[in-house]
Amino acid sequence: MQVNLPILLLLLCVGTLVCFLMLKLVRQRREYRILFESVPCTISIQNKNFEIIRYNREFADTFDISQGKYCYTVYKGLRERCVSCPVSRTFNDGKSHYSEEERTNKDGSKKFWIVKTAPIRNTKGEITAAIEMCLDVTHRKELEEELSRSEKKYYAIFNNIPNPVFVLDPDSHRILDCNRSVEAVYGYAQSEVISRSFLDFFVEEDKSHYEFNLNKASEINQVKQVTKDGAIRFVNIRISPTEFLGQHVLLVTAGDITKRLEAEHQLSQASKLATLGEMATGVAHELNQPLTVIKMASTFFMKKISQNEAIPAEILRNMSEKISNNIDRANRIINHMRDFARKSDMRLDKVQVNDVLGKAFEIFSQQFKLRQIAVTWELQKNLPVIMADAGRLEQVFINLLVNARDSIEKRWAKSDPNAVSEKRIFLKTALKGKKVVVEVEDTGTGIPKGIQNKIFEPFFTTKEVGKGTGLGLSISYGIVKDFHGEIRLCDPFHGGACFHLEFPIHQLTQDVEHGKK
């Protein structure tokens, strides 16, 4: 038999090629099998009866295949197909589907996984099976639930903070969020406040000023704000830049101090009236001089009239002028006392310290003369104004003058052999840096070292029973603090006591002007 060599060679090449292709196919199948087994998620292949016909190693390690052959039994321990089954939907429409599944383990814990399905087709394009890939997200779900519980806890804390808390957009000052306490203070429900401007709570004349300060200050004290029903509330504001839902915001806390201020104001008013009582003798002396002049002039007129004597025109004019001047003086004293006793509205205005100090001294000028107490003035001219309430600041100066007077009288009453040669009060004002400084010093008994740290405490007094309430310096301390100032006892130069007061000067900065523009 003759062998056709070309045909033999052809068959040999074809056989070699087939062997090569078979080996390549086997190698690819092995690689795909290794890849299938090594994928870090569970993979199962199911037929149309939802029977698991193939699965990878991760699936075998995750689920107990001995529980049964159906996917719903292995996955969830069920006896029938899940109501919402992504594999069923894939068989129905031939598309991939996604779902999130969960089951309860025997120990009561939960397991969560993400499902992605895809159809498997034969050479005719018919769906013969479905592949289901699952990714375990139990740890992520636990973290999400923990985060959710944490958010609920902190939101509960946020809502139950007794002070109103606002989350503001730093540019527009629009309210992004707030807690429930807003309703208790401002009268607005949370839904009414969200998206409104925080500046709407300020009185109209203050809006432009605080629009600038909200982004610059960390705290703003005694701010006047308006509630839903138009009532005025005084609040202390604390401002903290932070992040909220991925954006920079201002966290604003408002503490309602209205009742506290009203109580302090009533106590201050009571102290004023007590001070007026202490000054009654001095006021009587102040009024006595104009009344004496009026009495003498009226007696002179009555005498001339009873004797039918003519009064020269020049004398009549001079005496009438003196009567008018002294009536004006008496009116000024009375009006001054009335103004001093009047309740202030707790609003800060521009105040010239020298003017207020001079006005406080007017009440004592006559009684200082009668008690032979000299006053040395050292006032710096053209001081910048400060922000204060003139009436309340005068109350501070009057309290200090009353204490200085009483201390001097006490020292001389004891006939202290080491006493200085004269009774004297020193009043000094100056500008130091950006502070207006006031010093009130006397040549009285002074304040012993042992009690110097107590003098600003309420109801603490060194005076005899019935001669002092112990409120003067305490209230003065609070008033000065309300004006953002400081008051302290400093070392005296003349043997008595020296009180040092500092107030920040008021400046309308260019930044505020630019803010208005």
Is 502's pLDDT higher than 90? yes
Six token digits for residue 409: 């009288």
Same-domain status, 312 and 410: yes
- Mean per-residue pLDDT for 465-492? 78
Closest CA to 199 of 188, 211, 187: 211
First to last CA, the chain: 113
Indicate whether 514 belongs to any domain: no
Indicate whether 3 belongs to any domain: no
- Per residue in 142-171, pLDDT (tens digit) is 888 888 888 888 778 888 888 999 999 999
pLDDT of residue 418: 54
Which of the four pLDDT bands, split at 50, 70 and 90, describes residue 302? confident
pLDDT of residue 93: 92
Same-domain status, 345 and 493: yes
Is 83's pLDDT higher than 80? yes
What is the residue range of 219's domain?
161-256
- 318 backbone dihedrals φ, ψ, rounded to 5°: -65, -45
Q: Are 458 and 474 contacting, i.e. CB atoms less than 8 angstroms apart?
A: yes
- Mean per-residue pLDDT for 274-297? 70
pLDDT of residue 42: 87
Is 431's pLDDT higher than 90? yes
Same-domain status, 273 and 169: no
CATH classification of the domain holding 87? 3.30.450.20
Same-domain status, 248 and 323: no
pLDDT of residue 254: 92
Same-domain status, 178 and 266: no
Which of the four pLDDT bands, split at 50, 70 and 90, describes residue 96? very high
The model's pTM: 0.50
Name the domain boundary from 232, 256, 280. Answer: 256
Same-domain status, 496 and 391: yes
Give me the number of domains the chain comprises.
3
CA distance 394 to 275: 12
- Per residue in 309-367, pLDDT (tens digit) is 888 888 788 888 888 887 877 776 676 666 666 656 667 788 999 999 998 888 777 77
Sequence-distant (≥ 6) Cβ neighbours of residue 74 within 8 angstroms: 52, 63, 64, 65, 67, 68
CA distance 40 to 133: 10
pLDDT of residue 511: 34
- Per residue in 34-53, pLDDT (tens digit) is 666 777 788 888 899 999 88
